[in-house]
Structure 1
Amino acid sequence: MPTGLRYDVVVIGAGIIGAACADALTSDPAVRVAVVDRGPVSGGTTGAGEGNLLVSDKLPGPELDLALAGIRLWRELAEQLGAQALEYEPKGGLVVASEAQALGALRELAEGQRKAGVAAEWVPAERLGELEPQLAPDLAGGVHYPQDAQVQPARAAASLLRRARDTGRVDLLTRTDVIGLDRGRVLTDRHGTLHCDTVVNAAGTWGGEVAALAGSTLPVRPRRGFVLVTEPLPPLVRHKVYAADYVADVASGSADLQSSAVVEGTAAGPVLIGATRERVGFDRRLSVPALARLAAQATALFPALASVRAIRAYRGFRPYLPDHLPAIGRDAVRSWLFHACGHEGAGVGLAPATGLLIAQLVRGERPFLDPAPFDPARFAHPQQEAQP
């Protein structure tokens, strides 16, 4: 491919966020986009994710507002592209509590979520079995979240990129390292210089490295997580089911190992069991203690899993920012650079809303929701000033 290619926007990252940004940007028929990734499509965090589309684990506030928009947009995408193209399953979520104190906190959270627009239905202990017949019988109660859903993340990213490329205005440059960034130029190792007006940093866990190439700062850090995969089973788990303490783990800033069972079935038969969180850098080593905790917590929720074989485990790195909100918007230092990263474990669910927001901000349009809480400038050092 010749060097010196010209684009309006270069998106760095071919995971679900980069794919959603590219797809949203092509709604303007005059825009040409390149999507660049040092690996394959979904080769990073997206390929190691479960594909959660959740509102149930979000506290009332800006992330929940973004998640509600994401749920709506995923539903529209499933209609436009076909549910099978995304492996979209509107299965709903069920959050359960094992004792009365946790149940009280869960009901309080659900009430706040309802006021923000979430459908949340109280389920007393005696009715839990109607929703999940295999659930442990000694739970205190729970909340049903019918808006929660699921996609297969790598397939969803590929489908969004395919639609974007079908416009004839998007090039996908995979296995290509970005080695330098400057105004109007993205330097790559395989395709030379890509000339552009705007760069979108959708590099996920490596978003901080991309910001540094541009002479800016974004404190993205990896937060490792494991998922257990069982042997294929007859239908066992109907919803996405997790314990109430998962919400606290999501909101925690602790670097230590945290785990709370998230159990769900798949169309192919295996049951997925997550989720752990720990900040250990990019250490990819398998953690037997982490997997053992997941297995114990999952069997406490679904005793039938105790006799089931786990056939594999996989791991990934969530892109963590200190305040648990993604960075979406213009860089505080480089006016030509926009960030769309730091979504931690919520990137798949937030992807279409993030893509829409980025496209509107790049075009200078009025955004569909207030972008201020996601402004990357909140991490800028006081002495930094905006530069061209």
Structure 2
Amino acid sequence: MLTRNTSDVIVVGAGVVGAACAYYAARAGLTVTVLDRGPVAGGTTGAGEGNLLVSDKEPGPELELALLSLELWRELADGLPDRIEYEPKGGLVIASDQAGLAALRDFATRQGGAGVTAHEIPADRLHDLEPHLTSGLAGGFHYPQDAQVMPALAAAHLLRSGGGRIRPHLGEEVTEVITGASGEVRGVRTVNGEFHAPYVVNAAGTWGGELARRAGVELPVLPRRGFVLVTEPLPRVVRHKVYAADYIADVASGSAALQTSPVVEGTPAGPVLIGASRERVGFDRTLSTEALRRLAAGATALFPVLAGVRVMRTYAGFRPYLPDHLPAIGPDPRVPGLLHACGHEGAGIGLAPATGLLIARWLIHGQLPMNTEPFRPERFDPVP
């Protein structure tokens, strides 16, 4: 029976990744304590746009994880109808010139071999998909598998759907990972007391590196700041997630400097979300007028109709960045009983269900649905 301070596993982080870890662990029959120093979805999840994307991923381990997650999101949407605002609206990646279109064509061909569906859209057919898109573009590719959820709702409903096996404790900052005489996990200490379990899952997002250090190991998670503009509610001006081809390069870049590329999408509630910017400035939340100016200019270049639309608010978030752009998922051999589920950068909402399923399978020693070697948390250790 789950008591206040004892469970089978402790998940640190009540964002969508932590919620997915808790959900799948509970479905596997485990009792779960979820700890977060803030509210549900109070960090990166609450600042996310809810993208479930395959269109921006190179063939490889992250794309494989994304495809598995898309299947799981569909199952979750069927089980939680109308609760997470799941919308399989598809994505549209556009090119401004023939060189860019050729690069997109090559990218889509390679993705096709990995299980991604993409359809080339010639310039004269772009307006069939997006009537308000600017003229003079070279063409684009439509990705029908891309989808969207409302991330804060998704996290909350995953935590509520644990069949009584999930107990969230919010406002509980973990100050120490408690270990035994042989270095094995025994639980965690918070500002209010101790919680005991033989397993601790680090789903602390951008603060995953700090939690790892409190467990005695290094994980080089860094914050990568981004801004989002939110317009006034509109009729469905933008039907898909629409972005320019250079967004793909920005996602893969390791640069610390400010990078922006236009990403525009509508929402079921009406507002249009405008991104995307990336820069490494620590946890500085200072409003960057240059970033906002670039976002607005990029959005109106793609959709001139937005030039006369009011922006109601803007917000910043921090993507949990790891140097090789892959998350850390799985057990940490340096601390028995410690598992990591962090470092997903801007893809955490899309990759959350697969991450949670993998963590749950490790916890019950079940069969893994994919090769997880590229996600090993200790892969950043210096080679002896």
TM-score (norm 1): 0.96
2:94 corresponding residue in structure 1: 96
Query: Matches of residues 110-121 of structure 1 in structure 2 within 5 Å?
Result: 110-121=108-119
Offset at 1:381?
A: 3.4
* Equivalent-residue separation in structure 1 for 2:52 and 2:206 (angstroms): 19
Quote the residue 1:79 is aligned against. Answer: 78
Residue matched to 1:301: 302
Give the fraction of aligned pairs with identical amino acids, expressed as a percent. Answer: 63
What letter corresponds to residue 122 of structure 2 in structure 1?
A: P
Corresponding residue number in structure 2 for 1:105: 103
For residues 30-68 of structure 1, the C-alpha deviation after alignment (integer angstroms, 9 at most, x for no partner) is x21100000000000000000000000001100000001
Work out which of the residue numbers 123, 126, 129 in structure 1 matches 2:124.
Answer: 126
Instruction: Report SS of the residue matched to 2:359.
Output: helix
CA–CA distance in 1 between the matches of 2:44 and 2:140? 30
Among 168, 173, 176, the residue aligned to 2:172: 176
| Partner SS state of residue 86, structure 2 | coil
Deviation at 1:168, TM superposition (A): 1.7
1:186 correspondence with 2:202: no
Aligned residue identity for 1:97: A
Unpaired stretches in structure 2, ≥5 consecutive residues: 179-184
Which whole-Å CA distance do the structure 1 matches of 2:382 and 2:172 have between them?
31
Q: 2:373: which partner in 1?
A: 372
8 A Cα contact 1:16 1:156, kept in partner: yes
Mapped partners of 1:275, 1:301: distance in 2: 13
User: Hey, what's the Cα distance between the residues in 1 that align with 2:332 and 2:71?
Assistant: 28
Indicate the SS of the match to 2:161: helix
Q: Which SS does the other structure have where 2:83 is aligned?
A: helix
Going from structure 1 to structure 2, the CA distance change for 1:86 and 1:3 (only over 3 Å counts) comes to closer
Q: Secondary structure at the match of 1:26?
A: helix
Which structure 2 residues correspond to residues 1-388 of structure 1 after superposition, within 5 A?
5-29=5-29, 31-82=30-81, 84-164=82-162, 167-182=163-178, 183-190=185-192, 192-382=193-383
In 2, are the aligned partners of 1:19 and 1:160 still within 8 Å (CA)? yes
| Counterparts of 2:356 and 2:236, CA distance in 1 | 34
Give the conservation status (yes or no) of the 8 Å contact 2:10–2:187.
no
Kindly provide the amino acid, as one letter, of the partner of residue 350 in structure 1. L
Whichever residue aligns with residue 187 of structure 1, its letter is: R
TM-superposition CA deviations, 1:175-212 (whole Å, max 9, x none): 0111111221211112x111111000000000001100
Could you tell me how far apart the structure 2 residues matched to 1:380 and 1:18 are?
24
Q: Is the 8 A contact 1:4 1:195 kept in 2?
A: no
How many equivalent pairs are there? 377
Q: Distance in 1 between matches of 2:126 and 2:174?
A: 51
Give ranges in structure 1 of 5+ residues lacking alignment: 384-388
Give me the TM-score of the superposition, normalised by structure 2. Answer: 0.97
* Gap change, CA 1:184 and 1:259, over 3 Å in 2: same
Structure 1 runs (4+) deviating above 6 angstroms are: none
